[in-house]
Amino acid sequence: MLKRVLIGLVRSHEVTGEKAKDPNLKSRHYRLPKDKAWDEITSTLKKMRGYRVLHEAPSVGEIVMVKRTVLGRTMDITVQVISTGVTTMAVDIYSASRGGFGDLGANYRVIQEIYAALDRRLSAYKM
């Protein structure tokens, strides 16, 4: 936790992916067709308190959201739903804070919050 705050002093974004060194930032995989997963994921994200879905692009598998922090900063979040097979898919998240200074680990916590909500909703399909 302290490491994330220290990194957040200079960095104002966070991204997940297959090659992430931090296991909490690895892509999430689910055994679910992309179209069914899309419905479940968008429904879950729309219900999350404090987040607002701005745009959905099912054809490219992208959901754009914003979140306002307690201090009034805006965080831009992009959730990507990627088909990895006929019945499997992955979710990656990019979160960035507007402004020039670091985020004190806020983007890392946002990613963890979104992944936790998706893992609860899609627990039966998690790989």
CA distances from residue 25 to 4, 99, 124 in whole angstroms, order as listed: 12, 23, 21
Looking up residue 8, the CATH number of its domain turns out to be: 3.30.530.20
CB burial readout 11-49, b (16+ within 10 A) else e: bbebebeeeeeeeebbbbbbebebeebbebbbebbeeee
Nearest Cα neighbor of 90 from 80, 99, 100 is: 80
**pLDDT > 90: what percent of the chain?**
69
Residue type (1 letter), 64:
V
Query: Rounded CA gap, 66 and 41, in Å?
Result: 16
How many domains in the chain?
A: 1
Q: Looking at residues 37-53, what average pLDDT do you find?
A: 96
- Whether residue 56 is predicted with pLDDT greater than 90 in this model: the reply is yes
Paired with 74 in beta bridges are: 68
88: containing domain: 2-125
pLDDT tens digits along 78-125: 999 999 998 999 999 999 988 767 777 788 899 999 999 999 999 999
pLDDT of the residue at 12: 81
